[in-house]
Amino acid sequence: QDIVVVGNARGDSDVIRSYFSGTSPEEIEKGLEALRNSGRFANVSASREKGRVVIHVSETNLINRVVFEGNSKVKTDTLTSEVRTRAHGSFNQTVVQQDIARLLEIYKRSGRAAAKITYRTVQLPNGRIDVVFTVEEGDKTGVKEIKFVGNTVFSTGRLVDLMETTEMNFLSFIKTSDVYDPDRIASDLELVRRFYLKNGYADFHVVSSDAVFDPGQGGYVITVVVEEGPQYRVSNVDIESHLPDIDPASLQPYLRLSAGDVYNGDAVEKTVESLTREIAKKGYAFSQARPRGERNPAAQTVAIRFVVDEGPRVYIERINIRGNTRTRDYVIRREFEIGEGDAYNRVLIDRAERRLNGLGFFKKVRVTNEPGSAADRVVVNVDVEDQATGNFGVSGGYSTTEGFIGEVSVSESNFLGRGQATRLSVQAGQRARGVSFSFTEPYFLDQRFSAGFDLFAKKSDAYNYSYYSTTSIGGTLRFGVPITEEISFSPRYSIYNTTISIPNDSNRPYNDCQTPLPGYTPGFGYIFAPTPADLNILYNCQSNGEASLAIKESQGSRLTSLIGYTLSYNSLDNFRNPKNGIHSQLSQDIAGLGGNSRYVRTTGDLRYFHEIPYVDDVVGIARVQGGNMFALGDYQFRVMDNFNLGPTLVRGFAPGGLGPRDISNWTSSRGNSLGGTNYIGGSLEVQFPIWGLPKDIGLRGALFADAGTLWGYKGATNFSSKLYGVTLPCVYPYSAPTYGQGTCIVVSGDAAQIRSSVGASALWQSPLGPIRFDYAVVLSKAYGDITQRFRFSGGTNF
C-alpha cells in the first residue's frame, strides 16, 4: 500500500484510496480531481514522502443543513437537487459560487431573470455550520415588447401574431407564452421566414435578432432586424429530366405553380413531393426532384427549374420500431407503404411519419436513418413515445335549444395498443338524456378501410318548441372507405326504434283534449272554466297547449331499418379553425329493409372557406345545403320523419320555427311544427379578429346573411277516419259547444317562401371551451314562423 491517507476523521481510508488507480502523477491528479468534485472535502492535496504518496484531506467545517428561504415560484426540493453543497458534506467556497450560478439559470428559464440569490453560513455550537441560500425572486420578467425593423410589406402586429411568443399584457398572470425562451424565439423566426417565402419574398432573411433585458420595463425587449427583399413572381417553370425514359412533358400536370404566379415556397415543396412520387411510380425508386431557382433581381422574377436525376441506389435493410410501450408493432409498421428490402424513398418515409403523427397516439415520432451492413443498405429507426390516449372527459354547456346539458365520457383512441377507437358517453340535461357507445377499427381485415359500430339510446322531452317527446334506441354498423386523400365514402346500415309520446300531465297537458285532466282541463274543474258550460274561445282543452292532430296520429313506436352512405370531400387546411378549403358531404338513406318506415332521404351540404386577400386573418365562408325525401310505395310520412329545421337552416328562427306548421290551434302553434320533405338553404359569412384585443384572448367576430326555405308537408289534414272510423267533412277547431280540437288541421307556411336574416356573432375560444353567440334579425318570414333573435351555444371539455 504505497498510498497513505491523512486527515480523514470520518472517511474510510481504503475507499478514498480506491479513487486512485495508480501512483503516476496523472493518476494522482485525476484522483484528486474526482475527490474535489465529490464536494465532500474542504480541500485535497497530495505529496510524496520516502517513496510513498500521501493524500491530505481536510474535513473542517462540516455542513449540518442546507436551507433555502424566499423561494415560492420554484419548489425547495427542485433547488436542493440542483445544488452540490450538501448536508454532511464539507463547505467549499467555489462549489457554493457554482451552485448560485446554476440557481440563477433555473430562475432565468422560468421567467424570473431579475432574481437575486445570496448565501450566508451560520456557525453552530457543535462546530458544524448551516448554509442558507436567500432568494429574492422579483417579479415576472417576460417579453415586454417584440419589435421588427425593416418590415415594410407586413405590419409588425401581423408578424407578432404569427409567433408563439407573445408580449406581456394584463393576461400575463395566466399565460406562460410571454416567458423569454430563446429556442422558442428561434422557431418563431422560422415561422416568419416560411410566411414570407409563401408570399413570394424569396430573398427574405433575418439579419439579426437580439433580446435586451431592460430593468426599467422589467422584461426583455426583442428587436428583430429583417431584410424582406423584393416580391418575386415566377417567370417560368420547367422540368429537366436526366432519367432516360422520363420526358418532362408527362410530368407537367404535377406542377403546383406556373409562370406569372407570385413565388410560393410551399407550392415548390408540394411540387417536389408530387414529382418524386410520380417518378417513383414509374420505377425510378431512387430518383429525386430538386428545385433550382435563377433569380432576376432587376425584373423581380425567378425562373424555377425542377431537375429530376438519379439518386443514390440505397435499399432499406431493416425498419426498427422502438419505444412503443403500448402501441403494437404492426399498428406502426402498417403505416409504412414501403417495407424492408424496398428502395429508400424519402417522400414515402415522410408521408408515413405524417400519418403516424396524425394517429394521435404518440407524443413524438422521429424517423432516423443509420448505415446498414452494406454500402447500399440503410437501417430506418422509428422512435415513438406513446402518449396517454385514454380520455376521461366531463363536459357541460348550455344552448338555447337543449338547455343545460352535461356529458361524462370515457374514450380510448388506441384501445389495447391495437389502434382501435372506443368511446362510451352518458349525456344528462334539462331536456335530453342519453348514452352511446362506439367502436372503430381503422384497418378492417388489415386493409386501409375502417369499420365500426355505434349503439345509442336517447330520450328528449317535449318542451315549448316541440310538443312531443322522442325516445330512440338503436345501432349503426358503418364503414369508412378512403377513395383518395380527400374523398371518402362511408356506407352504413342503421336500425333504430323511435317512440313518440305526448306528455299529458299537469304542467304539460298537451293531449288533454282526448283524455281530459281533472282540475287542469277547462270544463273539468279548471278554475276559469270549471264545467263544460263555461267553455269558450279563451278557455278550452286547446288553450293550455295541445299537440297537433298530425303529431297525435304518429304516436307510438316505429322501427326504421335503413341502408345509406355518405360521400364526403374534405380539403380543409386545418380542421379546428379552417382558413382555406372545402368541406362537403352528400348522404343518402334508403329506409325499407324491413321495419315500418319506407322512404328515401337525400341531404347535401357544402362549405367553402377562403381567406380574404389583402386583409390578414379574415376568412370568408360560403355554404349551400339542401335535402329531399320521398316515400316508397304508399308509406305515410310521420311528423318525426320530416326535416324539422330552424336555426341550422336560417339563423334567427327558433328550433322548428320555420316550414309547414299546424296553426289550427292559434294559442299553441309554437310547438306544432310539422316539418317538410324538401329544404334548401344558403349562407354567406365573414369571420374576423377583433382589432385592438390581444390575440390570446381568442375572441373573433363574424357577420352573416342566411336564406332558405322548407316545404312539402305530405301528411294528412283530415283525421276524422282516425278519430271516428269514417271520413267525415272537417269539424274545425274552436267550434262551439266544445271548442275542442275538431278533426282537421290547418297547415300554413308550406308555400316555399324564402326566409332570410342577417346578423352578427361572437366566437370565443374561452378557457372554458369554444362559445358562440349569434344575434340575427329576420328579414322575411312566412305567417306562423317562430323567430328567436338570440342564440347561444357553448360548452367545455374539462
Partner 1 sequence: CLGYDGVINRGAVIDERKAAQVKIGLPAPQVLALLGTPSTTSTIGGDAWYYFSQRIERELAFLPPEVADQHILAVYFDKSKKVQRIADYGLKDGKVIDFISRTTPTAGAEFNFVRNMLAKLTSF
Partner 2 sequence: CALLAAAPARADILDSITSGFGLFSGEKYKTEILPDIPAEDIYNQGLARMDAHDYENAAKKFGELEKQYPFSQWARKGLLMQTFAQYQKPAYDDAVASAQRYIGLYPTSPDTPYMYYLAGMSYYNQVPAVMQDQESAEKALAIFTQLVEKFPKSEYVTDVKYKIQVARDQLAAKDMTVGRFYLTRKNYAAAINRFHDVLAKYQTTRHAEEALYRLTEAYFAMGVVNEAQTAAAILGHNFPDSSWYKDAHALLATGGVAPEEHQGSWLSKIGKTLGAS
Query: Can you name the residues that pair with 466 across neighbouring β-strands?
Result: 463
Q: Is 132 in the site for partner 2 (CB under 8 A)?
A: yes
Min dist. Cβ of residue 306 to partner 1 (A): 18
Residue from 22, 182, 283, 594 touching partner 1 (CB under 8 A): that is: 283
- x/- mask, partner 1, residues 643-672, rule CB under 8 A, reads ------------------------------
CA distances 760 to 31, 684, 685, 776, Å, are 77, 12, 9, 7
| Cβ closest to partner 2, residue 195 vs residue 398 | 398
Query: How far is the C-alpha of 108 from the C-alpha of 211, rounded, in Å?
Result: 13
| Cβ closest to partner 1, residue 49 vs residue 485 | 485
What does the buried/exposed string (b/e) look like for 665-679 if buried means 16 or more CB atoms within 10 Å of the residue's CB?
beebbbbbbbbbbbb
Query: How far is the C-alpha of 602 from the C-alpha of 107, rounded, in Å?
Result: 62
| Cβ closest to partner 2, residue 181 vs residue 512 | 181
Query: How far is the C-alpha of 339 from the C-alpha of 539, rounded, in Å?
Result: 80
∠ CA 21-27-28 to the nearest 5 degrees? 105
- x/- mask, partner 1, residues 326-365, rule CB under 8 A, reads x----------xxx-xxx----------------------
* 329, interface contact from partner 2, partner 1, none, CB < 5-8 Å by kind: partner 2
Half-sphere exposure of 697 (CA within 13 A, CB side): 14
| Cβ closest to partner 1, residue 337 vs residue 505 | 337
| Cβ closest to partner 1, residue 343 vs residue 405 | 343
Q: Is 69 in the site for partner 2 (CB under 8 A)?
A: yes
Q: Is 233 in the site for partner 2 (CB under 8 A)?
A: no
Other Cβ atoms within 10 Å of 81 Cβ, number: 7
Half-sphere exposure of 781 (CA within 13 A, CB side): 23
Min dist. Cβ of residue 750 to partner 1 (A): 42
Query: How far is the C-alpha of 678 from the C-alpha of 546, rounded, in Å?
Result: 26
Q: Which stretch binds partner 1 (CB under 8 A): 63-71, 109-117, 482-490, 510-518?
A: 482-490
Sign, Cα dihedral of 181, 184, 190, 193 = negative
CA distances 151 to 155, 160, 299, 612, Å, are 7, 12, 21, 22
Query: How far is the C-alpha of 412 from the C-alpha of 409, rounded, in Å?
Result: 10
* 343, interface contact from partner 2, partner 1, none, CB < 5-8 Å by kind: partner 1
Q: Which stretch binds partner 1 (CB under 8 A): 16-24, 272-280, 583-591, 634-642?
A: 272-280
Q: Kindly give the pairing relationship between strand 487-501 and strand 129-136.
A: unpaired
| Cβ closest to partner 2, residue 173 vs residue 575 | 173
* 584, interface contact from partner 2, partner 1, none, CB < 5-8 Å by kind: none
Min dist. Cβ of residue 225 to partner 2 (A): 33
Query: How far is the C-alpha of 182 from the C-alpha of 162, rounded, in Å?
Result: 16
Q: Is 313 in the site for partner 2 (CB under 8 A)?
A: no
- x/- mask, partner 2, residues 750-779, rule CB under 8 A, reads -----------------xxx----------
**H-only helix segments in 642-712:** none
Q: Is 697 in the site for partner 2 (CB under 8 A)?
A: no
For residue 467, give the amino acid letter: Y
**254: nearest Cα among 232, 233, 235, 279:** 279
Query: How far is the C-alpha of 652 from the C-alpha of 779, rounded, in Å?
Result: 9
Residue from 149, 242, 312, 404 touching partner 2 (CB under 8 A): that is: 404
Q: What are phi and psi of 388, to 5 degrees?
A: -65, 115
Residue from 197, 246, 280, 649 touching partner 1 (CB under 8 A): that is: 280
Residues 432-471 contacting partner 1, CB under 8 A: 445, 447-449
| Cβ closest to partner 2, residue 141 vs residue 324 | 324
Q: CB of 130 within 8 A of CB of 122?
A: yes
Q: Which residues bind partner 1 (CB under 8 A)?
A: 277-278, 280-281, 283-286, 313, 315, 326, 337-339, 341-343, 374-377, 388, 390, 392, 412, 415-417, 445, 447-449, 481-485, 487
Q: Which residues bind partner 2 (CB under 8 A)?
A: 8, 10-12, 15-16, 18, 38, 40, 64-65, 67-73, 76, 86-88, 122, 124-126, 128, 130, 132, 135, 137, 140, 173-174, 176, 318, 321-330, 333-334, 339-342, 396-398, 400, 404, 406, 417, 446, 767-769, 792, 794-796, 798
